[in-house]
Structure 1
């Protein structure tokens, strides 16, 4: 349960940061170039690098782990939001402008609604990134399944490690299936063709 709550809160904060940044970046090419450079850099850094500044500022504990997870998992939320908004059919945007929509109405009633399936897949990837980082945050003293994996490694206990690893995998699979089904339902409701996998 600690893993679920840590992952849930971290994904919520990553979404609250990433989705608005993605919306702003999709509307401004120059900003997107800088944001893309920043998130590409974040994604190439080793996972342990995220722990060092968080530990220096906040010491060890769940809050430190959450900061590191949010920093690691925010990239897909931004990237998929930009991708979703940029994939909206320009003819629909032109139709909205012809009907007299303001920029805010174009964004909220056309672009975001049509980009919703992509944004949901971005949230899905954010959850996967958060879960992978949570196992590493066991090094800063979290009491979740990552800590169980870490203890199993130090004690060379394959059974304990396998059980904890499978529990993390089941959380990821459940989240993935629920969000993928929601995205497919949103695509069907909006009449958008399914992406080839």
Structure 2
């Protein structure tokens, strides 16, 4: 299984250490909407792969982090789900697109991969889709929503923790990761598309 039980320290992704969570004044936003081609790719992948858009974006985030910051496991608070999930940030050479999407799908659909560690560290990253509210501020928040025909990706980051160029590189890598995952992955087991093949 791509994501095993969380046994070691998570990958730290911030450029700088901070002692406390950011206040609203510490946060900056970098917007990076998907163009019409990528929005259509995401919609088509939802149908073909049998998984939700939020799961595809979270998996792409893991690949983008691996390419920008390094490989490892990060904790991600996903709005609407209890407890952080471990997200494997692995290059495509070490795990297939189907494995990456499958791991995220299992974590978010069943909650089986949610961490239950007494001294579990706080997640540095949060993700929300379609305006789902986040409980509190994180060092990095990716908020996806669709105000019109295009999917909007807003990267909110703690300016004390991240240099702007790191966030810009993540925002640049995520669409590339999205294309790679959606073009190479196979439908997930036990979905209508997988059963029909």
Report the TM-score, using the length of structure 1 for normalisation: 0.28
Structure number with higher strand proportion:
2
Between Structure 1 and Structure 2, which shows a larger proportion of helix residues? 1
The structure with the larger Rg is: 1
Higher relative contact order (CA 8 A, sep 6+): 2
